[in-house]
Amino acid sequence: GQNIDQPTEMTATEGAIVQINCTYQTSGFNGLFWYQQHAGEAPTFLSYNVLDGLEEKGRFSSFLSRSKGYSYLLLKELQMKDSASYLCAVKSQGNLIFGKGTKLSVKP
């Protein structure tokens, strides 16, 4: 079967660092996406990993370990506007499977 797991909710403080984990069990793997989705809005692309390692893009970084079926999204210097859901999505065998997302709340 195909399964993607993310924590349902997380809370962090403005200015802090937060790590959002994603584990997956899929038949095949061709890449992993992270999307940000503010409440009531469409998802927007954050990152794409296909090889193991860390991809850094400004305040956001994404890590992938294919052998462990594991990825994380790291958000640094958190801002209030980072309050949103973060969706992990795995590309596998001609399909794209989304996780249910992690709702991040950033507190002052």
Partner 1 sequence: DAMVIQNPRYQVTQFGKPVTLSCSQTLNHNVMYWYQQKSSQAPKLLFHYYDKDFNNEADTPDNFQSRRPNTSFCFLDIRSPGLGDAAMYLCATSRVTFSEQFFGPGTRLTVL
Binding pattern to partner 1, positions 45-64, x when CB under 8 A? x--x----------------
Check binding of 86 to partner 1 (CB under 8 A): no
Check binding of 100 to partner 1 (CB under 8 A): yes
> Cα(2)–Cα(11) distance, rounded to whole angstroms?
28
Q: Do residues 43 and 87 lie in contact, with contact meaning Cβ atoms separated by under 8 Å?
A: yes
Minimum CB–partner distance for residue 8 and partner 1 (Å): 8
Minimum CB–partner distance for residue 82 and partner 1 (Å): 19
